Amino acid sequence: MLFNTYEPWKFAFSSASDDLSNLGNGESVDDFAKSKKWGIIGVPFDSTCSYHHGSRYGPTIIREASFGFEQYNSTFEKILDGEFYDCGDLNVVHGNCSKTCDALEDSVNELIESGIKPIIIGGEHSVSIGPIKALAKLEESKDLSNITVIHLDSHRDIIDEYIGEKDSHATIMKRVHDLNPKELIQIGIRSFSLEEKEFVEEQDNISSFLAKDLYDSFEILLEKFDSIEGKVYVSIDMDAFDPAFAPSVGNPTPNGLHPVDVENIFDALASNEKIDVIGFDLVEVASDRLGDVTAVLAAKMIYDFLTLFA
């Protein structure tokens, strides 16, 4: 790389990723959970989108926006100097959600073999199943029974089929729940069907924190984080934020979270020494315009996450 140039196709401050194969050292599942090495994969896929298309451009504009931040993170008073790599974009199969997610699962497996945890930049929310399946297969149980999934979203995304499709942005958390998570914690929810409401109420491993309830008391959520133990996967749909902060998403919904809310969530997770965050995805930035405010916020969330967990 030439002096005084930058690579906008890679996330700011990332390390060179020319050869990750030499990083693997035969780590156990527990060793992997403790790893602080991360690898970014962009997934430019939005073929099941039901409202606002454009999240296939998310990985590109989020990376570009990441260069607007200093390496010193003033929010957490830490320098972003951890070990993380940007591995580029997945070769997606446009129009085929299942094949795209299978390919992503294979790619995440390659990261895991090198002792690197996945950060997925979407793309639509359906792609989250790729890394989650790969991480589940690491477990002796081959499911999520030892993994807590934290899901930030305005929607539950837990209907079994959407317009006849089981693999969809609207069904992603049902597919996750099919893998028997230790607990699914849904945060910022404010739009769901009666069918989804009834399903969630029947489950003993789903906790809900509606956006309207968090307005009254955010402390109830922070108390919940104190009780979590073991492995954790975090999935953020950008429509969890209020459209005032993130208008360019697949399905914007009023009365959402404030960016400071998510910073506080990250801080609470980082402060809990009983957990190991093993994967992260951020999805549904639906814009092709450089400098889009939603992309800037998304880049800030990834930047904050890396500052605390890399």
**37: how many CB neighbours lie within 10 A of its CB?**
18
pLDDT of residue 22: 60
Residue 47's Cβ-side half-sphere holds a number of Cα atoms within 13 Å equal to: 16
pLDDT of residue 192: 96
Q: How many angstroms separate the CA atoms of 73 and 59, rounded? A: 22
Query: Model-level pTM?
Result: 0.95
pLDDT of residue 19: 62
Pairing of strands 206-210, 183-189: parallel
- State yes or no: pLDDT of 169 exceeds 90: no
pLDDT of residue 304: 98
Residue located via tokens 């906008």: 8
> Across the chain, what does the average pLDDT equal?
93
Q: How many angstroms separate the CA atoms of 6 and 67, rounded? A: 9
Question: How does pLDDT run across 268-304, given as a tens digit for each residue?
Answer: 999 999 999 999 999 999 999 999 999 999 999 999 9
Strand partners, 125: none
265 within 8 A of 300, measured Cβ to Cβ: no
pLDDT of residue 297: 98
Task: Return phi, psi of residue 90, to 5°.
Answer: -70, 145
Question: How does pLDDT run across 7-61, given as a tens digit for each residue?
Answer: 888 999 998 766 666 665 556 677 899 999 999 999 999 987 777 788 999 999 9
User: CA angle, 166 as apex, 163 and 170 as ends, to 5°?
Assistant: 65
Question: How does pLDDT run across 58-104, given as a tens digit for each residue?
Answer: 999 999 999 999 999 999 999 999 999 999 999 999 999 999 999 99
Domain ranges of the chain: 30-309
As assigned by CATH, the class of the 30-309 domain is: alpha beta
Question: How does pLDDT run across 218-258, given as a tens digit for each residue?
Answer: 999 999 999 999 999 999 999 999 999 999 999 999 999 99
pLDDT of residue 205: 98
- The H or E element that residue 12 is part of is none
> Token pair of 12, please?
């700011």
The mean pLDDT of 213-219, rounded to a whole number, is 93
What proportion of the chain, given as a percentage, has pLDDT over 70? 95
Beta-carbon contacts of 134 under 8 Å, excluding residues fewer than 6 positions away, are 105, 108, 109, 112, 118
DSSP states of 82-149:
S-EEEEEE----TT-HHHHHHHHHHHHHHHHHTT-EEEEEESSGGGGHHHHHHHHTTSTTSSSTTEEE
pLDDT of residue 271: 97
Packing angle, helices 58-65 and 293-309, rounded to 10: 70
Nearest partner of 165 among 156, 175, 155, judged by Cα: 175
